C-alpha cells in the first residue's frame, strides 16, 4: 500500500469562522493505481491534494505515505519527502522562464546534491522518455504549451518518485495537446508509476482507472473505472 489516510480532517480558521475543508476522510491507494480526484470548487479536492503532496498537514487524523506517518512532520521534513517521494505536474507548468528545459528538469536533483554530470544524464533520459530530448536547450518561451507540460512531467519523473501528483495537467492546453499529455500520463502508469490526477473535468477523470468524488469535504463516491 502506498497511501493510507485515516479520519483526516482539515479546518481553516478565517477570522472568527472555522471552515472544515475536509471532514473525516478515509482512503487507501495502492502502488501503481491511476486515480482521479474529482469535485466542484469548494469540495475539498485541492486541500486533499495539498495534504497528499505534503504541501500541508491535517488538523486531525493520519496520513501514511510509504509506511511513514507524515501527518505531523516539520516543514523541512515535508520538503525532503516531496523531493524524494512525490513528482508534481501543475496546470501552469511552474517552469523557470530563464532556464532551458534540461535545467528545469534537473532542479530536484540540484536540491538534493546530485553531481552535475549524473543529473544532466538523468535529465536527458527523462526528456527522452517524454519525447523532448531534442528540445533540451530551449527555454519555456521557445516551447509550445504541450512541450512545456512534457518538461514538467520529465521534472516530476527525475527522482523516480513513489507518486506522481498531477493538478489539472491539461487545463491550459487545447484538446488535441491535452489528449497527448493524457496518453503520456497513461503510459507512465502502464510502466508502473502511481498517478493521482486532480480534475474537475469529467472526460479527463474518465481516462483514469479509479474515480474518487468529493463534495463538501467528504468522499461521496469511490468507484473503479473499466478502461
Beta carbons within 10 angstroms of residue 194's beta carbon: 20
Is residue 2 scored above 90 in pLDDT? yes
Instruction: Read off the CATH number of the domain in which 113 is found.
Output: 3.40.50.300
Structurally, the chain folds into a number of domains equal to 1
Q: What is the distance of C-alpha 105 from the center of its chain?
A: 15
Per the structure, the complete domain to which residue 163 belongs is given by 3-224
Q: Compute CA distances 160 → 92, 108, 184, whole Å.
A: 22, 11, 16
Instruction: Give me the percent of the chain exceeding a pLDDT of 70.
Output: 100
Q: How confident is the model at residue 112 (pLDDT cuts 50, 70, 90)?
A: confident
Instruction: Give me the percent of the chain exceeding a pLDDT of 90.
Output: 85
Q: What is the pTM of this model?
A: 0.92
Q: How confident is the model at residue 140 (pLDDT cuts 50, 70, 90)?
A: very high
Is residue 21 scored above 90 in pLDDT? yes
Q: How confident is the model at residue 111 (pLDDT cuts 50, 70, 90)?
A: confident
| Residue 98 confidence (pLDDT) | 95
Amino acid at each position: 500500500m502506498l497511501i493510507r489516510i485515516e479520519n483526516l480532517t482539515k479546518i481553516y480558521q478565517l477570522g472568527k469562522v472555522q471552515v472544515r475543508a475536509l471532514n473525516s476522510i478515509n482512503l487507501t491507494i495502492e502502488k501503481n493505481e491511476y486515480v482521479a480526484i474529482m469535485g466542484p470548487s469548494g469540495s475539498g479536492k485541492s486541500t486533499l491534494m495539498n495534504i497528499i503532496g505534503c504541501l500541508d498537514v491535517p488538523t486531525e487524523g493520519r496520513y501514511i505515505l510509504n509506511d511513514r506517518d507524515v501527518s505531523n512532520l516539520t516543514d523541512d521534513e515535508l520538503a525532503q519527502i516531496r523531493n524524494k517521494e512525490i513528482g508534481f505536474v501543475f496546470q501552469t507548468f511552474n517552469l523557470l522562464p530563464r532556464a532551458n528545459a534540461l535545467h528545469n528538469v534537473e532542479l530536484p536533483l540540484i536540491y538534493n546534491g546530485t553531481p552535475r554530470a549524473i543529473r544532466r544524464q538523468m535529465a536527458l533520459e527523462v526528456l527522452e522518455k517524454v519525447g523532448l530530448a531534442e528540445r533540451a536547450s530551449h527555454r519555456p518561451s521557445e516551447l509550445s504549451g504541450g512541450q512545456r507540460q512534457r518538461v514538467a512531467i520529465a521534472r516530476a519523473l527525475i527522482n523516480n518518485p513513489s507518486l506522481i501528483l498531477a493538478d489539472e495537467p491539461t487545463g491550459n492546453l487545447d484538446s488535441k495537446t491535452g489528449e497527448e499529455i493524457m496518453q503520456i500520463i497513461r503510459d507512465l502508469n502502464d510502466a508502473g508509476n502511481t498517478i493521482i490526477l486532480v480534475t474537475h473535468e469529467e472526460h479527463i477523470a474518465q481516462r483514469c482507472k479509479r474515480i474518487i468524488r468529493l463534495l463538501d469535504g467528504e468522499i461521496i463516491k469511490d468507484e473503479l473505472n473499466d478502461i
